[in-house]
Each structure stands twice: as structure tokens, then as C-alpha cells.
Structure 1
Amino acid sequence: MTSAHWLFGDQLGPAFLAGDGDGPARSAPVVMIESRAVFRRRRFHRAKAHLVLSAMRHRAAELGDRVTYVRAETYRDGLRQAVGGEPVTVCHPTSRAALGLVRSLDNVTVLPPRGFLVGHEDFAAWARGHRGDTLRLESFYRRVRRDHDLLMDGGEPAGGRWNLDHDNREPPPKGARTLGAPSPYRPREDDIDAEVRHDLDRWEREGDVSFVGRDGPRMFPADRREALAALRRFLAHRLAGFGAHEDAVLADDDTMSHSLLSSSLNLGLLDPAECVERAEAAWRAGDAPLNSVEGFVRQIAGWREYVWQLYWYFGEDYRASNALRHTAPLPDWWNDLDADAVTARCLATVLRQVRDTGWTHHIPRLMVLGSHALQRGWDPAAVTDWFHRCFVDGYDWVMLPNVVGMSQYADGGRMTSKPYTSGGAYIDRMSDLCGPCRYRPDRRVGADACPFTAGYWNFLDRHRDTLAHNPRVSRVLGGLDRLKDLPELLEQERDRGDGPP
């Protein structure tokens, strides 16, 4: 008898039932489990809960009689209801908690991971060759490009350069309120979406589940057909304009030319190989410039793969990293996504985007949300959990390296070479957020002092001993003692506390 195959809610694409090589049997019956306990344990964004459940139920509808779909309190309960003690296979889950669960069950066989380009063994072999060095993205990215023949001309990178970041850091066009890109793909809700929304409303009325944020019409794909439509629209209409302004921010243009494919990739609806290969084909056909395509390929074949691998390679202890000894709790206004309580226009704008959609692109995440949390000294574990819960594309493997390593520098530089934080000048240069703001990006002290500018210098003063030997920060640290208003600035920041800026 063929073993049933268990699909987690982020394993929803055809690759997870392909029936090839080390995957499940092609005709295997399928088990899917909704665990209500998952939503009790954390206060997820309502739009995220809606998307995940809608995607699971859409996949179950596609599979029809092949699937046993169970709604249970826990995964253990659901699996017992579905198969009793009969054998089950499952593709390697994406979180340590889920992997620990399936390995603890005697009747479950764990198959290799799917949905990524690089195997754990290949990454470990690459990492062993860098023992005397830090495991930086650039070296890994080049390895992936070579191994998968992505944007290569023979043994050389297409265009002669591996990294086109220099071409992809343009500020927004002066005076423009939007980038002018064609709109992204938006799905249409159906009866399954209505059923999910009804169930979430009921759970909240019953009082044992609480959400944060708003659940408007679903913005992101919930099945394979929608995900492919989103990919096609991006490649045909938005990829060409993506590169130059990928780090820019406009208050009235949340999506710019970004792909909005991260949630589809992380649900398993899209495979990374098909995304990057189709993007390369667009460049070779002359439909998109190399800098845009390289930037997109770097995000998926570089950064996404790198984060996935570091999550497993660094081990469970990485979660407790706190090199800067930040322990302050997250304030209520932040946890509640209370954008209306915030005066600083950059932070209010980005919090509002998260509140209303569960998404914002990588620069607001890193240089507004993450930078503020870092400057205020908030507990990196709590910040990681917040990003996990509040973003539609947030999963443990995604957010742990991104927040602990990249955003909060809590690992002391194992992943990045410096803390990613800045004063208001960077935000002013790369966005249109500062002009109408009551705070001025060039002011450190006073009623109109930018909270990011003051927070930046306060952060550097607080950690000057820790960062003194960092070559990328030491020169800036040398300027601290030349600030005549530093004592006033430090007192101002002590008085500010953790109220909304």
C-alpha cells in the first residue's frame, strides 16, 4: 500500500507531489492539517492568516478526493485522525519546530527539502571552504550562479560583472508620487476566501484567537494558477523597471516595481528555478535590462537561498544571539501596528502599509522598521517574532537570519559586516517621506530633531566599545566626540523612551 503524503501549509505547489526521485509516490494519497493551536500561540496578522488558510483550502479543492483534509487542535491530533498509525511521508519542513515534530512521530518518514536550489550538503561543503572567512552572500551567490548556469556567458557572468547593485540604488524620480509602473497582479476572491474569512471572524468572536492588522481583499496568490499569473505579469510588465529603483521608497507607491512573489515562493506555489530562469529568458530576449534581471536573480537565487541555508547551518542557538545585549520590550503601539499614533512620517507610512496589507518591500523593512528597533535597543528575539507574525511572507526560516543577523546585528557580524542603521539623511535621499514630516532629517536635537538621526548617534555612542574595531564603522565613531551637542542628544534620547516618535 502506498504511504500517504503529508503537505504542510507552505508546501502547496506541484513540486511537493511530483513523484520523482526522492519525493513521494506519484499516486500517494495526501493529508493536510489545519492546526488551530498555531493561531492561538501567536497573534498573527489577519491578512496572513487569511492567505495561508485560503491557500491550503484552495490546494485541497484542487486535489479533490485524493486529499484527507483535517481541521484539528494540533498537528498530532490531525495526523491521528487522518491516518491513525499508518505510515506517512513528508518533505523536510521549513522550521525547526516542525522538523522536530515530524521526527518525533514513529510513523513519519522525512524526505529531502523541496522548493530551493541548493541542498544542505552542498551548502555545508561551500561553508567548509570558508572556515577562515565569514559566510558572506557574495561568494555564495557566485557559486549558485555558476552551479545553475544563471546569467552566465561561459565561465563569466553575463555583462562582465557579478554584482550590479551600483546600478540599482537610484533614489526615486524627483517630484514623482509614483514610479509609474504597471499595477501588479491582484487576485479575485472566491467562495473559499469567504469561508476562511467567516471562520476567522468566528474564532475571534469565540475569544481564543486574536489577530493584528486588517484583512481587506486578498492581495496575494492563493493557488498555483494565480501565482503563475502574478509571475507572468511581473516578467512582462514590471521586471524591466525593477532594478534602478529597487531601494527607493515612495509614500503613495507601496509596491513600486517589486515582484510581490515572495509569499507565493514561501507557500511553495512557485519554484525558485522557474522564476529566475524565466527572468533570464526575458533579458536574453531583450525584454528587460541586465541590471533589473540581475537584481531579481540576486534576491531569489542569492539572498533567499542564503537565508534558508544559514537558518539551518547556524543551528538552534543562533536564535538566542544578542551580541548588543538589547533587552527592551516591544511597545504596545508597535505590537498593535498603531500607525496613527506615530508622528514621524516614514515610520507612520510603513507601519500603515504593514497594518493594511501585511507587506512592505525590503528597504522599509530594513531601514525604517528594523533600523528603529535596533536604535531603540529592543529584544531581537521579540523583533524577530514580530516580523514573523506581521508579514504575509514571514516564516521562521525567513525572519530568523534576516532579523537576528541582517536587521538587528544580534549575531555580532556572523552574517553582515556592519549594523544596518542610519540617520534621517539616508531616508531623505532614498524616499519622499521626509519633506512633509514635522521632523527634519538634518536635526539631531530639539523639537524638530529626526528620531532616526538622533537615534543613530545615540546607538553609536551606546555601542562605541563593541563597534570600535569594526572597519566599516570605526571612522563614523571617530566623529562622535566632535558632536558638541552629544550630551544634549543623549539626554533627549533618554527622555524619549519608547513612546511613538
Structure 2
Amino acid sequence: MPVPHWLFGDQLGPHFLTAATDVPVVMIEARSVLGRRRFHRAKAHLVLSAMRHRAAELGDQVRYIRAETYQDGLREALGDTPVTVHHPTSYAALRLVRSLNSVTVLPPRGFLVAHDEFRAWADGHHDEQRLRQEDFYRWVRRSHDLLMDGDRPAGGRWNHDHDNREPPPKGVHTLDAPPPYRPQEDEIDQEVRHDLDRWEREGSVSFVGRDGPRLFPASRREALAALRRFVEHRLAGFGPHEDAVLAADPVMSHSLLSSSLNLGLLDPVECVERAEDAWRAGRAPINSVEGFVRQIAGWREYVWQLYWYFGEGYRHRNALRHHAPLPRWFLELDAEAVQARCLATTLAQVRDTGWTHHIPRLMLLGSYALQRGWDPQAVTDWFHRCFVDGYDWVMVPNVVGMSQFADGGRMTTKPYTSGGAYVNRMSDLCGECVYRPTERTGDRACPYTAGYWAFLHRHRARLERNPRMAQPVSGLDRLTDLTEVLRQERRRGDGPP
């Protein structure tokens, strides 16, 4: 009798199972997971829908258990029978499976690089400041022969970021890109929505955000359709404006594949290979293809590896000693309480869909939190709960290291925050705003511009030693109104901007 195999809810693609159909499969829907945090309702819906769709695909091969905890579910399904499981994606889940005598943990799936391979690469970089994503990305490209022509990068350059940082075209409200794939809900979604409604009424769970029609794939078939739609119709236009923001066009030419990758519905290999095939066939330019490959084989892979390489204590790093609690309006996704158009627009997108692309995440949500000195652990938890693609391994490095600079520079070379000028240059969000990106004080002072200078002042001693921050910090000496800026920021407190 084959040993049963346990699938977690983010291990839903065929690459998490052998081809043999006689291997019994166990899936456990643990209610306690939803009770621990106040997740976005659309995220809870997507995960449960994806799990139940996978169970329906597996049919008689799977035993699908609904229980209070994973331990209860395993006990009901198997008793003390041995079971295998692929390496989970969080420290908490890994501790759980290792604590169970009957569970054998297999290597991770769904990523390009094995942990021991990454550790050997990283340990070879003795200067910690050189453990950078660009070096790692080039190593992955070479070792996996991605976008390579022999030993040279395809297209003649490793990095096409220069071509992929264009501001939005003037005078347009949308990029007019072909629309992304959107799934059709079915009876499984109806059942999920009914269960979530019932659990909320019973008081066993509580959510934030809205659960409109499901926007992201919940099955392998849907995920492949989304990948095909992106590569064939949207990839060509992805690169140039991937860092731009348009109020009326939140998806622009982005792939919207992150939730499918992080649920395990897609394998990163098939995503990057299809993109490369599109370039070699002349259907997409190199800058768009390289930008997409960089997101998956570069950044996503890098974040996954650093989560495990830095260790579990990394989540508690707080080099800037930020401890302010997240205000209620932010926790509740109360976009209507916010006057700053950029932040209100982004909060509304998160509230309504559980998603926004990487620039609003980093340069609007994360930047605002950094400027106000919010506790990085609380910010990490918020991103984890409120995004459909948010998992512990995703958000700990992205927020602690990249967004909040809480590791003091172990992951990035500088804090990623800016004044309103950057937002104005890369978006159409400032034109109709009550605030002016060039003003630091007064009724029309941009909260990002004032917050930027207040942040630099608060951390001047640390940041002036940073080569990439020395020049901005020196600008403090030219501000004749710095005292008023700081006074104004203290008056703002944790109220909505």
C-alpha cells in the first residue's frame, strides 16, 4: 500500500504529487487557521475555493477533511498511519509537521533553486553587503539557462530596468492593454461563500475587505488559462510601465499570476519558459520578457530563499526601532477616511480585491508605514492578511527587509521611501488630490513629502553614513521650514492623511 501524501493549501499543482494515481492523498481544511488572523475575505475565499477545486479534481484519490486543527484532521484521516508531505512554506507549518512522528518531510517544490544550493551560493559571498538580488538573479539565469545565448544574456544585457521605468503616458487614464483573464465562479465558490457567511454569523471568524466575484484562479485549468492569456496578449506591453500607477487602471499589463504561483497552481519554470519562448518567437520584446523573468526567477525566488536563509528570528528585526501601532483606519481598509488620493486609491484597491501591484505596495503603503514609524511586525502581519498572494515567506523578507528597512540594510542598500515628487512622476494620482506634492507645510502639504523629511531627520545619524542616502540627508540642512514640518507631523499623529 503506498504511503499517503498530505497536501497543504498552497501545494495544489500537479508538481506536488507523483504521477501515480494509487497514492492516497489527504487534504485538511483547518478552521483554526482562519481564526488566528483577521484575513481579507477575498483571500479566505480564494484559498478555500482552490483547495476544494483541487479535491474535486482528485476525486476518490483524496480524503478531504474539515477539522478544527491540522492535528485533528490528520488523526481523523489516518490515525497513526505514516504520511509524507512536501516541505511547507512557513516556519510554523514546518514546526508542526516535524513535531508529528508519523510525518516524513520531503524537499520543497514550486521553486527553482534547492535550499542547499542557495546556501552554498550565499555562503560563498563572505561580504554580507554583496548578498544582493542582482547577483543571485544572474546566477539563476546561468544555472537554469534562462534567457541566455550561450554564456551571454539574451538581448545583450542582464538588466533592462532602464527601459521598464517609464512614467504613465500623459493624458491617458488606462494603458488600453488587453484585459486579463478572469475566472467564472461555480458551485464550489457558492458553497465557500455560504460557509464564510455562516462562520462570520457564528462569530468563529472575522474578516476585513470585500468578497466580490472571485478575480483570481482557483484551479490548475484556470491558472493555465491566466498564464496563456498573459503571455499571448499582455506580456508584450508589460515592461515599459511596470513601475507606473494609474488610478483607473490598477492591473495595467501586470500578469496577476502571483496568487496562482503561491497557491502552487503554477510552477515558476513553466511561467518563465513560456515568456522566453514568446521572445524567441518574436511575440514580445526583450525588456518586457526580462522584466517578467526577473520578477519570478529573480525576486520571488530570492525572497523565498532569504526567508529560510536568514532564519526565523529575522521577522523580529527592528533596526530603526519603530513601534507605533497601526491605526484603525488602516487596519479596517477605510479608504473613505483618507484624503490623500494616492493612499485612498490604493487602500480601496486592497479593500475591494485583496491585490495591488508592487509599486503601490512598496512606495505608497509601505512607504507611508515607514515614514510614520509603524511596528514592522504589525506591518508584515497586515500585508500577510490583506493580500490574496500574501504568505509568511512572501511578506517577511518583502516587508521587514525591503519595505520597512527593519533589518538595517541586510537585504537592500537603502530605505525605499520618497516624497510626493516620485508619486507625481510615476502616477496620475496627484493631479486631483487635495494635497500638493511640492508642499511640505500648510493645509496642502503632501503627507509623503512632509513624512519623507521627518523620516530623514529622525534617522539622520544612521542614514548619513549610507552612501545612497548621504545626499538626500544633506538636504535637511537646506530646509528653512524643517521645524514646522516636524511640528506638523506630530500634530498629524496616527490620523488618516
Q: Secondary structure at the match of 1:226?
A: helix
Alignment partners' CA distance in 2, 1:230 and 1:34:
26
Q: RMSD over aligned Cα, in angstroms?
A: 0.6
| Structure 2, gaps ≥5 residues long | none
- Could you tell me which residue of structure 1 aligns to residue 272 of structure 2? 276
Q: Report the CA distance between 1:481 and its aligned residue.
A: 1.6
* Letter of the structure 2 residue corresponding to residue 424 of structure 1: G
Picking from 41, 62, 65, the partner of 2:36 is 41
Residues 1:500 and 2:477 are matched in the alignment: no
SS at match of 1:93: coil
2:209 aligns with one of 204, 208, 213: 213
Q: What is the aligned residue count? A: 496
CA deviation after TM superposition for structure 1 residue 26, in Å: 5.5
SS at match of 1:33: strand
* Segment of structure 1 superposing worse, 131-140 or 186-195: 131-140
2:96 to 79, 89, 101: 101
Letter paired with 1:272: P
Q: Which amino acid aligns with 1:113?
A: P
Aligned pairs for 1:405-416 (under 5 A) are 405-416=401-412
Distance in 2, matches of 1:398 and 1:131, equals 25
Q: Stretches of 4+ moved more than 3 A in 1?
A: none
Task: Give the whole-Å Cα distance in 2 for the aligned partners of 1:287 and 1:132.
Answer: 41
Structure 2 equivalent of residue 79 of structure 1: 74
2:478 counterpart residue number: 482
Pairs within 5 Å for 1:434-473: 434-473=430-469
Q: Please tell me whether residue 149 in structure 1 is matched to residue 145 in structure 2.
A: yes
Q: Give the whole-Å Cα distance in 1 for the aligned partners of 2:22 and 2:349.
A: 43
What aligned pairs does 1:297-316 form with structure 2 within 5 A after superposition?
297-316=293-312
CA–CA distance in structure 2, aligned partners of residues 257 and 18 of structure 1: 35
- SS of 1:311's partner is helix
Conservation of the 8 A alpha-carbon contact between 1:234 and 1:259: yes
Checking the alignment, whether the CA contact within 8 Å between 1:371 and 1:421 is kept in structure 2 is yes
Structure 1: distance between partners of 2:74 and 2:49: 20
- Measure, in 2, the Cα distance between the counterparts of 1:264 and 1:131: 35
- Matches of 1:68 and 1:87, distance apart in 2: 15
Alpha-carbon deviations, 1:61-100, whole Å to 9, x = none?
A: 0000110100000000000000000000000000000000
Separation in structure 1 between the aligned mates of residue 482 and residue 95 of structure 2, nearest angstrom: 49
Q: SS at the partner of 1:310? A: helix
One-letter code aligned to 2:360: P
SS of the equivalent of 2:240 reads: coil
1:468 to partner: Cα distance: 1.7
Structure 1 unaligned spans of 5+: 20-24
Per-residue deviation at 1:300? 0.2
| Partner Cα distance (1:285, 1:258) in 2 | 21
Q: Which amino acid aligns with 2:149?
A: D
Partner of 2:339: 343
- Alpha-carbon distance between aligned partners in 2 of 1:237 and 1:173, rounded to the nearest angstrom: 20
Which residue of structure 2 lines up, in the alignment, with residue 138 of structure 1?
134
Q: Which residue of 1 aligns with 2:257?
A: 261
Contact in 1 for aligned 2:128/2:410 (Cα 8 Å): no
Q: Which residue of 2 aligns with 1:51?
A: 46
| Partner SS for 1:159 | helix
Q: Distance in 1 between matches of 2:460 and 2:349?
A: 34
Alignment TM-score, normalising by the size of structure 1: 0.98
Q: TM-score, normalised by structure 2?
A: 0.99
Paired position in structure 1 for 2:321? 325
Alignment of 1:282-293 (within 5 A): 282-293=278-289
CA distance in 2, matches of 1:323, 1:371: 16
Contact kept, 8 Å, 1:170 with 1:430, in 2: the verdict is yes
In 1, Cα distance between equivalents of 2:128 and 2:154: 27
Cα deviation, residue 293, structure 1: 0.1
For the residue of structure 1 that corresponds to 2:28, the secondary structure is strand
Matching residue of 1:3: 3
Q: Tell me how far apart the structure 2 counterparts of residues 240 and 144 of structure 1 sit (CA, whole Å).
A: 23
**What one-letter code is carried by the residue in structure 2 that aligns with 1:244?**
P
Deviations 1:436-456 (A, max 9, x none): 000000000000000000000
1:295 is displaced (CA, Å) by: 0.1
Amino acid at match of 1:408: Q
Partners of 1:256 and 1:27 in 2: CA distance: 44
Q: CA deviation at 1:18?
A: 2.6
Structure 1 contact 384–399 (Cα < 8 Å) conserved: yes
Hey, what does 1:126 align to over in structure 2? 121
- Displacement of 1:125: 0.7
Matched-pair identity in %: 78
Deviation at 1:158, TM superposition (A): 0.8
Deviation at 1:356, TM superposition (A): 0.1
* 8 Å contact from structure 1 (residues 17, 26) kept in 2: no
1:88 lines up with 2:75 in the alignment: no
Deviation readout 1:338-358 (Å, 9 max, x if unpaired): 000000000000000000000
Corresponding residue of 1:22: none
**Distance in 1 (alpha carbons) for counterparts of 2:23 and 2:99:** 22
Q: Deviations over 1:321-343 (max 9, x none)?
A: 00000000000000000000000
Q: Cα deviations across residues 27-62 of structure 1 (Å, max 9, x unaligned)?
A: 310000001001110000000000000000000000
Partner of 2:396: 400
- Tell me the distance in 1 between the aligned counterparts of 2:333 and 2:472: 33
Is the contact between residue 102 and residue 110 of structure 1 (CA under 8 Å) also seen in structure 2? yes
The whole-number CA distance in structure 2 between the counterparts of 1:255 and 1:456 is 27
CA contact (8 A) 1:308 1:398 kept: yes
